[in-house]
Chains A and B, each alone.
Chain A
Amino acid sequence: MAALLRSARLLKFSPSGFLQRTGTNRNGPQLSRLYSGAIGGKGSGVCSRQIRGPHTDESSLGVRSKQAQQFDWALAKLDSSVRRTGRITKTLLLRIFHDICRTGYPSGNQALLLLRSCGSLLPEMPLAERTELAHRIWDKLQELGASYDASHYNALLKVYLQNEFKFSPTEFLAKMEAAGVQPNRVTFQRLIAAYCHDGDIEGASTILGFMKSKDLPITEAVFNSLVTGHARAGDMESSESILQVMKGAGIEPGPDTYVALLNAYAERGDMDKIKQTLEAVENTDTSLMDRDLMQVVFSLSKAGHQQHVPEIVERMRHERGYVPDAMNLCLSLITQGQEDTAFTVLKTFPTLQQETQSGDSPTLGNFFLRHCVNMDKPVDKVARYCKELQDSSYHATPLQFTLYCCLEAKKTATAVEVMKMMKEQGQPIRPHYFWPLLTQHAKDQNTTGIMEVLKGMQELDVPADVETMSFYVLPAFPNIDAARDAFKEMGCSLESEGFLSSEMRSEASSGNLAGLIPSALLSLSLTHTQPLSWDHVLCVCARITSLLSSFSTEAVSYFLYNLMDSMTEAEVQAQEDKLRQYFNQLKSMGIIIPGNIYRGIRNLLDSYHVPELIKVSILDGKVLALESRLAELKADSKPVGATLKQLILTLCAEEVQALELKKQHEADMVAGSYAALIHLCCRHDNVEEALNLKRELSRKDSSVSLDSSKYVALVKVLTKQGRLEEAVDMLKEMKEKEVVVRDTTVTLLFHVLNAAAMKGDVVAVRRLQDTIFTLGLATPTANLCSPLVSAHLETKDLGGALEAAMECQKQYGQLPRIHDVICGLVERGDTELLQKAMDFVSQERGEMTMLYDLFFAFMQTGRHREARKIIETPGLRARPGRLQWYAEKCINGNQMESLESMVDMTAKLFECDRDELYHYVLRLCKDTNDWRKAEATWTKMQEENVIPRERTLRILADILKSNGQEVPFEVPEVKKPSEITYCSATTSKHSSPFISIPSNQSFSQIKAYDMLKDIERKGVTLGPAPYDSLIRALLLTYVCSVCLFLSAVGRIPGFKLNDIANSLLIITQVKRGLAKDGMSTLKSMLQGDQVPSKLSVTRLVQSLGSHGDVQGIQEVEVLMKGLGTPLNLSSMVFLNNTAMAHIKNGDLDSAVEGLEAVYTQGDGPQGPAASMAFVFRKVLEENNGAALDKLSAMAERLANHFSSYRAASDLFLQLLEANMVEDAKFMLAVGKIKTLMTLIPDFTEKETLYPYLMKCYGVDNDLVSAKALYQQMQTEGVEADELCLKRLAVLYRNAGETVPFTEPPVSNYVSELCTMRL
């Protein structure tokens, strides 16, 4: 074992590839920089972006609004940025900030996250701007109700330090005190750093004394600050002596101490001392990383000693992560006006980067050039850098790239300057270079901006071409004349091809034919208001086209396209012939339209339903053939066997019975039934019967094959009974018959293998596994391979297990159950085999995997000391998946000690998500309900500067709460409305009440409300958040009285309910019959740009309807139409409720009129889909006979005269629903019955249906239809009853025809019915 440990430690010194991948240092990995902000005030941050596309990943930012996931999402976003580049862009940070603001009520950890990002993670932003941003965030979030605790103040301090912001520590402390926040050790440490930064040793000493008096530990960080402090105070001797003091206090000077000292020398430009110190460091245990040296470079440059920079840069070892770090350094240097130093550093970049360009020309320094452009560095300076980059073959096209950056940043003046330089070098300048400059102006209709760019084009002698003109220039002008004027003013040529052609385009697209060829056509006074005959127009068009074609074919095509586009569908359809004529004319003129425009026109014509016009037959015969075949198959496949199969399936529980059934219906057995039976027999271990059935099936129909689950079942049962070869044959047959193998099949196969493994049957497992893989039935996964190892483990044959695992790796690239194998070996102390295993793993999977395997094996077997040594191997990175795997194992197995030590050991692990790990611990705490452990975990997190995610805070609060403990922080709002928890703002000096509102007990809302009042009485001002949650809780149960919450709302000036609360408010008001109040709530919501919920609007409209408030409904409808984002409310909501309002007011005619219009006025947006069932239901519910009569009459009218059956069917269904079956029957009229028949084609009771239909024909006196119906009845074998025949006879007679059948005798009853209008 010791040998193993040694081998792990040796890694540190081995020059293997592994070491090159390492990047740890105690400054913390990049991720922890985000979390802990523990680095000094050096400039860092990176821009490694090369040419990148538009901000695609960032553009989706605005859409997100779910606050629940917001923190995680924002963190992930920032985290990934830091991970990739070591920095955050300003845009990203601002977007996240705005997003958090927009959703309202930011949580404490969101605030912390934002604040912490305002320091050195923004190397592209000037220091002052960074602090300004931090303050903006601080104020804004506070305004939005975020409450700040010590962690926030500490984060702000860190930002101050990183941004070299001058502030008064005493004032800062006073501010904290005023806010009732206790400073802690970290606060004092950072204040000392602030004093030392200014060389104020006295100030630092005061705080130091204070810390001592409070018995707070003095850590290395404090000493490091003092090194800086003394140096800045000009006392290098004291500065140097701190190191001795530290040693005296039992603290070894760490790398940060040396960096502080080096920086002190750097500020003085004392290279000798720097060299001495560097040598001295080499003799200690500590070693300095490139990143540390970068700080020295930065200090040298800032202090004006850049001549020494190369000497330091030479010392860098180009460790892994050098490039992003060095990029950060360069960016910071550029931002802070040290671009020359940055350029020196840039030139030391390893040319590695070029390799990624895959043979293309080198592009080193893109980030550098981009940032120079963004920082508005002088053009000639940038040009000098460009030249040097090009001359030394770092970058093939630096000027071009610089131009790209200018264009991207829309810096017109710089861009023009750069282009001039390019032109001098003989590089081409093309019109489309100016488009990025024009886009925004075009969008903003900023003609001044556009003219400025055009002027630039003129200066560069680049004429604006057609595309430039028509896409980017002309659209910005209100009309062509305005453009022409502007051009004249600038002295731009109006005769250029570009201007003229695009003028054509623009005119044609606006449909303004008159404007096209002024001289020739104005005389014809061709305008839209005075349409000429189409012959004339087309003649003109032809002339236009011929004129245009003298410019370019493109112009003609665009003209044609725009002409088609501007014509309406009806116009095109009406003028089809003329247009065809016109097209033929064009053809004879030899005009050729480019393919893409041609297809555009074709699509337009398609959409106008005149595809023939362009003579393209897009009829796809294949599709039709396929469809008809499909239909045929469907019709034919109605086997009786389906029912039989169903029966067998249901009977499957009882094998014998199912088999019995099979015997009875031998002939009707279909494949599915056999399959079900086979499966059944397999389940019952009845192999013989299963095989018999299978044989029988293939005798019946050899083409049928079983599905995979049946096959696997057979394999399983055969294996189980030791008939291995038969099982293998079965697998082979599967392959032969090409049985589809699904994911579930693979799982089933695993179970087969595992079952064999559990019996320790190595032979069987191996045989089956080999067969499965060689046949290719399944791809070898770790899971599928594992049974082979399991089989060995089952027999305690560790050597065999290891061999098996190794074999799997060699054969299939899988290493199944290696953890269990290694654990077994560690447990047994079999060093030799263990070494073998480790060698193998590291050879096959890399040393990282091997170390993790070993780590977990030590953890698992309780050898924590050894485990720690492994995990602390330099260069090891966090593998979240593996850590999670082990954590889950601990949680499931209730192994707190093991879990805790893992969390502890991974503290310094590179890229380790600390919050995630602590969350595991808390989860286990929750399981064991151990609040003490939970609280201790919380303290540890603070110590480690971990920003907890919301869920972490919530789980912690849960544990504390359920144990009756006070929660010392603001708990993020719980998203479930069923439980609203609040810890009130920290603004209170007296109390920090904790309000918990489970909403299923309405009384507790009242209690919470009382509590709130109580707090107010004590003079505590609460933030808006508690009110919001309380109001929402109250609204949810609809118990509040309006004045109750209104008084609450009124208490905070500027307090606004959010969308959800307001929507709930409307619903509540409506429920309480206060439709007017609901209305005003809605109005105020819309004024506040809030979006009401669909439900709330619907309820409001319904309420207005039942109050008879027609006007109110109209008002709401108008309001909703004005809504930016439509709610997708059906217009029937308004229509139906308007009708209800009319009915309520007793104005039945208006109600009917309104509804009828929906169905009679063509197929409006609603079309036949519009349902008025609501009105019918309401009327039926209210038992309003008069209204029902009117509406029924209307429905009948609609059905008879307008063939609109929807209203009738709605009524019919509502009647049925209201259990008024008879009424429903009565209302059946021809149309309705027919609708019904089409709706329910399988309607079986034709005996019921046809007589009704006959009755209707009788009423309508429609003999022809009646005859047809009678015939249909006869062919379908539906017997016509007396009444039916009688009705038909009456029709015949009325038409003066002879009745072709024996008329039934006239009974009183029948004659009565026949003459009735029913």
Chain B
Amino acid sequence: MAGSSKKVYEVFVSKIPWTLASKEMKDYFGQFGQVKKCLVPFDKETGFHRGFCWIGYTSEEGLNNALQKDPHVLEGSTLQVQRNRKVFLGQKTNKEVVETS
């Protein structure tokens, strides 16, 4: 439990084609480091995801590895990967969870 409250090293991924979902993202981003979190929000109305996701690494190394690679091409589509800024502001994290949990 306590471990989870540690800093999470997150990237924000956008431009994800509709054909890819959680599993694919986790598999792909796993190559850069251990993925602790992978959140792909889906739209309950349409059944499609919203085209973006968050990948959380257990270490900063994973995060940096992911950020260093460019471009990220997965199944022919170029994903946009950027550092997730929001996560380091303690209070914002709560908000994010409200949206997704």
A residues apposed to B, CB below 8 Å: 51, 54, 359-361, 396-397, 400, 404, 407-408, 430-433, 435-439, 467, 471-472, 561, 583, 586-587, 592-600, 602-603, 606, 614-616, 618, 620
Q: Which residues of B contact A602 (CB under 8 A)?
A: 94, 97
- B67 interfacial by beta-carbon distance below 8 Å: no
Say yes or no: A595 contacts B90, CB within 8 Å.
Answer: no
In whole angstroms, how far apart are the Cα atoms of A603 and B18 in the complex? Answer: 30
Contact of B36 among A54, A400, A594, A615 (CB under 8 A): A594
In the complex, the chain B residue whose C-beta lies closest to that of A595 is B37
Interface flags, B19-33, vs A, CB<8A=1, else 0? 101111000000000
Known: A54-B46, A433-B19, A620-B90. A595 touches B101 (CB 8 A): no
Closest CB-CB distance, A603 to chain B, in whole Å? Answer: 6
Closest CB-CB distance, B56 to chain A, in whole Å? Answer: 6
Say yes or no: B1 contacts A614, CB within 8 Å.
Answer: yes
Say yes or no: B4 contacts A592, CB within 8 Å.
Answer: yes
Known: A54-B46, A616-B5. A600 touches B101 (CB 8 A): yes
Q: Which residues of A contact B37 (CB under 8 A)?
A: 594-596
Q: Which residues of B contact A438 (CB under 8 A)?
A: 47
In the complex, the chain A residue whose C-beta lies closest to that of B49 is A432
Say yes or no: B98 contacts A603, CB within 8 Å.
Answer: yes
Contact of B47 among A361, A407, A587 (CB under 8 A): A407
Q: Which residues of B contact A616 (CB under 8 A)?
A: 5
Contact of B101 among A361, A400, A561, A618 (CB under 8 A): A561
Say yes or no: B1 contacts A615, CB within 8 Å.
Answer: yes
In whole angstroms, how far apart are the Cα atoms of A618 and B91 in the complex? Answer: 8
In whole angstroms, how far apart are the Cα atoms of A430 and B19 in the complex? Answer: 8
Say yes or no: A596 contacts B39, CB within 8 Å.
Answer: yes
Known: A436-B48, A603-B94, A603-B101. A595 touches B36 (CB 8 A): yes
Closest CB-CB distance, A470 to chain B, in whole Å? Answer: 13
Q: Which residues of A contact B96 (CB under 8 A)?
A: 599
In whole angstroms, how far apart are the Cα atoms of A404 and B19 in the complex? Answer: 9
Say yes or no: A595 contacts B56, CB within 8 Å.
Answer: yes
In whole angstroms, how far apart are the Cα atoms of A51 and B39 in the complex? Answer: 22
Contact of A596 among B3, B44, B45, B100 (CB under 8 A): B100
Contact of A397 among B4, B49, B76 (CB under 8 A): B76
Known: A593-B1, A603-B101. A618 touches B36 (CB 8 A): no
In whole angstroms, how far apart are the Cα atoms of A1013 and B61 in the complex? Answer: 86
In the complex, the chain B residue whose C-beta lies closest to that of A436 is B47
Instruction: Show 8 residue pairs from A and B whose CB-CB distance is below 8 angstroms, ordered by the A residue.
Output: A360-B77, A430-B24, A432-B42, A435-B42, A561-B101, A595-B56, A599-B93, A599-B96
Q: Which residues of B contact A435 (CB under 8 A)?
A: 42, 47-48
- B70 interfacial by beta-carbon distance below 8 Å: no
Interface centre among A472, A595, A600 (most CB of B within 10 A): A595
In the complex, the chain A residue whose C-beta lies closest to that of B40 is A432
Closest CB-CB distance, B93 to chain A, in whole Å? Answer: 6
Say yes or no: A439 contacts B44, CB within 8 Å.
Answer: yes
- B78 interfacial by beta-carbon distance below 8 Å: yes
In the complex, the chain B residue whose C-beta lies closest to that of A410 is B47
Contact of B1 among A54, A433, A586 (CB under 8 A): A586
Say yes or no: B100 contacts A587, CB within 8 Å.
Answer: no
In whole angstroms, how far apart are the Cα atoms of A54 and B3 in the complex? Answer: 38
Interface centre among B39, B91, B93 (most CB of A within 10 A): B93
Q: Which residues of B contact A594 (CB under 8 A)?
A: 4, 36-37
Closest CB-CB distance, A304 to chain B, in whole Å? Answer: 39
Q: Which residues of A contact B45 (CB under 8 A)?
A: 54, 439
Contact of A437 among B4, B42, B47, B90 (CB under 8 A): B47
Say yes or no: A600 contacts B97, CB within 8 Å.
Answer: yes
In whole angstroms, how far apart are the Cα atoms of A471 and B22 in the complex? Answer: 15
Q: Which residues of B contact A396 (CB under 8 A)?
A: 76
Say yes or no: B46 contacts A587, CB within 8 Å.
Answer: no
In whole angstroms, how far apart are the Cα atoms of A598 and B39 in the complex? Answer: 13
In the complex, the chain B residue whose C-beta lies closest to that of A600 is B101
In the complex, the chain A residue whose C-beta lies closest to that of B48 is A436
Q: Which B residues between 69 and 100 are near A, CB-CB below 8 angstroms?
A: 76-78, 90-91, 93-94, 96-98, 100
Say yes or no: B23 contacts A618, CB within 8 Å.
Answer: no
Q: 8 tightest A-B contacts by CB? A: A600-B101, A436-B47, A435-B47, A439-B47, A599-B97, A598-B4, A432-B21, A595-B37
Closest CB-CB distance, A582 to chain B, in whole Å? Answer: 11
Closest CB-CB distance, A56 to chain B, in whole Å? Answer: 11
In whole angstroms, how far apart are the Cα atoms of A615 and B1 in the complex? Answer: 9
Can you add 19 more A-B contacts, CB < 8 Å, to A467-B22, A594-B37?
A51-B18, A360-B77, A361-B76, A396-B76, A433-B19, A435-B47, A471-B44, A472-B47, A587-B2, A593-B1, A594-B36, A595-B8, A595-B37, A596-B37, A596-B100, A597-B101, A598-B5, A603-B94, A615-B2
Q: Which residues of A contact B93 (CB under 8 A)?
A: 599
Q: Which residues of B contact A467 (CB under 8 A)?
A: 22
In whole angstroms, how far apart are the Cα atoms of A432 and B22 in the complex? Answer: 9
Say yes or no: A603 contacts B48, CB within 8 Å.
Answer: no
Closest CB-CB distance, A373 to chain B, in whole Å? Answer: 15
Interface centre among A583, A596, A600 (most CB of B within 10 A): A596
Say yes or no: B23 contacts A430, CB within 8 Å.
Answer: yes
Q: Which residues of A contact B98 (CB under 8 A)?
A: 603
In whole angstroms, how far apart are the Cα atoms of A28 and B52 in the complex? Answer: 42
Say yes or no: B47 contacts A603, CB within 8 Å.
Answer: no
Say yes or no: A360 contacts B78, CB within 8 Å.
Answer: yes
In whole angstroms, how far apart are the Cα atoms of A595 and B57 in the complex? Answer: 11
In whole angstroms, how far apart are the Cα atoms of A408 and B48 in the complex? Answer: 9
In the complex, the chain A residue whose C-beta lies closest to that of B36 is A595
Say yes or no: B97 contacts A400, CB within 8 Å.
Answer: no
In the complex, the chain A residue whose C-beta lies closest to that of B37 is A595
Closest CB-CB distance, A405 to chain B, in whole Å? Answer: 11
Contact of A439 among B5, B46, B56, B100 (CB under 8 A): B46
In whole angstroms, how far apart are the Cα atoms of A54 and B49 in the complex? Answer: 11
Q: Which residues of A contact B101 (CB under 8 A)?
A: 561, 596-597, 599-600, 603
Contact of A598 among B1, B18, B43, B77 (CB under 8 A): B1
In whole angstroms, how far apart are the Cα atoms of A596 and B44 in the complex? Answer: 18
Q: Which residues of B contact A471 (CB under 8 A)?
A: 42, 44
Q: Which residues of B contact A615 (CB under 8 A)?
A: 1-2, 5
In whole angstroms, how far apart are the Cα atoms of A432 and B43 in the complex? Answer: 12
In whole angstroms, how far apart are the Cα atoms of A471 and B76 in the complex? Answer: 29
In the complex, the chain A residue whose C-beta lies closest to that of B71 is A359
Closest CB-CB distance, A476 to chain B, in whole Å? Answer: 13
Closest CB-CB distance, B77 to chain A, in whole Å? Answer: 7
In the complex, the chain B residue whose C-beta lies closest to that of A403 is B19
Contact of B18 among A404, A439, A593 (CB under 8 A): A404
In whole angstroms, how far apart are the Cα atoms of A615 and B39 in the complex? Answer: 24
Interface centre among B19, B45, B49 (most CB of A within 10 A): B19
In whole angstroms, how far apart are the Cα atoms of A583 and B1 in the complex? Answer: 8
Contact of B46 among A400, A408, A593, A596 (CB under 8 A): A408
Closest CB-CB distance, A1012 to chain B, in whole Å? Answer: 48
In the complex, the chain B residue whose C-beta lies closest to that of A438 is B47
